[in-house]
Amino acid sequence: MEHTIQMGDDYVIAKFEPARETFNRIAAEGFRSVVSVQTEHEEQKLRIEDERRAAEAVGLAFYHQPVSGDALDDEVVDRFREAIGRLPRPILLHCASGKRSGAMTMMHVASEQGMTGDEAIAKAESMGFECDTPELETFVKDYIDRHRQA
């Protein structure tokens, strides 16, 4: 699928918000779940409940956890990690541009793989992700360093 970034075997970050007609293709490409981290206050192609219905209509599991860059904390990331750990894989994750969904997924993958925060940021940058603010980069690094499995 174009405009996506593969993150490990199980996670693909979409750098776009799927439209209703995209869900058939997502399922046909072998994905088993879709995760949206968009907030209900941002402009969306599909309302969250419409996206859930479109995903479920083609046999995909759907999970929504709104993530706002200015309200990111450990509890939000922990809840996200717990939820995606229970979903059938592979998983397509999205927000509007892939930045928030990429950061959330990177925190999960890097913590699971025992990376340091600095290693995770370097890996993310090599994959085409960038933290738009120093605050987000600091949060991502600190979260990973506190939660990584040695």
Q: CATH number for the domain including 92? A: 3.90.190.10
Spatial distance between the Cα atoms of 36 and 116, rounded to a whole number of angstroms = 26
Q: Where does residue 126 rank: exposed (0-12), middle (13-18), buried (19+ CB within 10 A)?
A: exposed
Counting the structural domains of the chain, the total is: 1
Structural domain boundaries enclosing 93: 4-147
pLDDT bin (cut points 50, 70, 90) of residue 150 is low
The model carries a pTM of 0.94
User: Mean pLDDT, to the nearest integer, of 19-44?
Assistant: 94
Both tokens assigned to 3: 């405009």
CA 40 to centroid of chain Cα atoms: 16
Whole-number pLDDT of residue 104 = 96
- Listed in sequence order, the residues at least 6 apart from 77 whose beta carbon sits closer than 8 Å to its beta carbon are 104, 107, 108, 143
Nearest alpha-carbon partner for 97 in 31, 37, 33, 51: 37
Checking if the pLDDT of 103 tops 80, the result is: yes
